[in-house]
Amino acid sequence: MVLVVVMGVSGSGKSTVGSLLAKKLGWKFYDADDYHSDGNKLKMAKGIPLTDQDRIPWLGELHKIIREGLSSENIVLACSALKRVYRDILTNEESTALSQEVKKDEMPPSRPFFVHLDGSMELILQRLEKRKGHFMPSALLQSQFDTLEPLSAPEHFIIINVEKNVLDIVSEIERMLVKSNLEYLQ
Ligand SMILES: Nc1ncnc2c1ncn2[C@@H]1O[C@H](COP(=O)(O)OP(=O)(O)OP(=O)(O)O)[C@@H](O)[C@H]1O
Ligand SMILES: O=C(O)[C@H](O)[C@@H](O)[C@H](O)[C@H](O)CO
């Protein structure tokens, strides 16, 4: 089965784009935000950036959920996945000592596709400041960009600028999936 990870800094649109994409494709949607511990949420709400140690258990839990789900369904995951090692933990690619903490299990044959929702600090800050009722303060946006490691080979990815509207972004991702000859139904 197929995994598409919609990633990027806070406010880039992961939840909005990811949920709409999953709905249009008829795939299962997971929002990584729903799996943050209360401690992590409290830390971010106080304006304190998460550390690798804060994120590892969270990513390990998401890895297990994805591995289980992929045995029977296609999945869209909205997850910041800011660092390469985080993406490796999610998809279980061997990389560094950090990922050793998540036991190596076999992963499904198809490679995950990453969609990086990319945009300027200025534009994303505007959107965060307009967003209501979310625990993540816009004050943490700089630390998100500081932590972000761009995707690189051999990761399979596309980069989409978030200046585009949500519907156009979702259509572009769908075109990418078709172009990559992914089976919609496996
Ligand atoms: N392409 C877009 N054009 C205009 N507004 C957008 C776009 N994508 C998202 N938004 C808006 O920007 C805000 C942030 O979007 P969203 O919450 O989906 O981001 P996120 O990456 O999931 O953030 P977080 O990681 O903090 O949960 C929301 O108010 C959303 O409605
Ligand atoms: O890795 C992180 O620092 C967090 O996942 C943020 O990137 C998210 O945006 C947070 O969940 C707020 O929604």
Ligand nearest to the CA of 35: 2
Q: Could you tell me the CA-to-CA distances from 42 to 1, 54, 82, 134 in Å, in that order? A: 35, 12, 20, 12
CATH class for the domain made up of 3-179: alpha beta
**Is there an atom of ligand 2 within 6 Å of 50 CB?**
yes
pLDDT of residue 134: 85
pLDDT of residue 100: 45
Nearest residue (by CA) to ligand 2, atom 11, is 33
pLDDT of residue 93: 57
**Is there an atom of ligand 1 within 6 Å of 41 CB?**
no
**Residues contacting 160, CB < 8 A, separation 6+:** 115, 116, 117, 118, 169, 172, 173
**Is there an atom of ligand 2 within 6 Å of 82 CB?**
yes
Would you list the DSSP string of 124-153? HHHHHHH--S-S--GGGHHHHHHH-----T
Ligand 2 atom nearest the C-alpha of 50 is 3
What ipTM goes with this model? 0.97
pLDDT of residue 98: 42
Ligand nearest to the CA of 127: 1
pLDDT of residue 181: 65
Ordered by start, the domain boundaries in the chain are 3-179
Per-residue confidence in pLDDT tens, the chain, 186 aa? 899 999 999 999 999 999 999 999 999 999 999 999 999 999 999 999 999 999 999 999 999 999 999 999 999 999 999 999 999 999 985 444 344 444 555 444 467 999 999 999 999 999 999 999 888 889 999 999 999 999 999 999 999 999 999 999 999 999 998 887 655 444
Residue 111 DSSP class = P
